[in-house]
Amino acid sequence: MTEGGKLIIFSAPSGSGKTTLVRYLLDQPELNLAFSVSATSRPRRGKEKHGVNYYFMSISEFKNHIKKGDFLEWEEVYRDNFYGTLKSEVERLWADGKNVIFDIDVVGGLRIKKKYPERTLAVFVKPPSVDELKIRLKKRSTESDDKINMRVAKASVELATAPQFDKVIKNYNLDVALKEAHQLVADFLGVNIPKQEEE
């Protein structure tokens, strides 16, 4: 893959709030971030759009990309539910002169970090507790109880990987977590954040 900007990874168990943090960071112009859209073989949910939320593919399409070595990383997260990062997506964003930010699962995040150790900041977002996670997932009402229980079981395993990340943000209070994420990324990119006016 060609030279380009930096890579910022946000990983966490489902429901930890990583997507909220990533969206906030994308809105900070001085960070010059662009979002890496992942590919997935899972069906669309709600109003999700192809090429915006994910690149939606059939299972056979996804497996074909694996065969051709098109992924920077990929994983079968649940049976027949594949997720991955296309090399072409990262190269496209680098060609635009952007730093690339990922909202990605723990295994994928660590794989990218391993490939680009020098230019990657890997951040783990920690929820207050697994119980709180379950409450947040239920509030979403996008998935069955079985699916939620599967995610909660997976969360316990994922939480154990936190020490392998460069930084851990505890998302107990969203405002604090947002500030911390902003500062971490700015420091990594060598960018000065405009001082916030005190309320």
According to DSSP, the β-strands at 7-11 and 99-103 are parallel
pLDDT tens for each residue of 65-104: 999 999 999 999 878 899 999 999 999 999 999 999 999 9
For 10, 90, 172, the CA distances from 17, given in Å and listed in that order, are 10, 23, 10
Domains and CATH numbers, the chain: 7-189 (3.40.50.300)
pLDDT tens for each residue of 164-183: 999 999 998 999 999 999 99
CA–CA separation, 95 vs 2, rounded Å? 9
- Dihedral angle sign, alpha carbons of residues 169, 173, 178, 180: negative
Show the tokens assigned to 43: 């069906």
Show the tokens assigned to 86: 């296309």
Q: Give which of 28, 16, 4, 9 is closest to 73, Cα–Cα.
A: 9
pLDDT at 199: 39
pLDDT tens for each residue of 105-119: 899 999 999 999 999
Q: Cβ distance 101 to 122 under 8 Å?
A: no
- In this prediction, residues 18-33 reach a mean pLDDT of 96
pLDDT at 148: 84
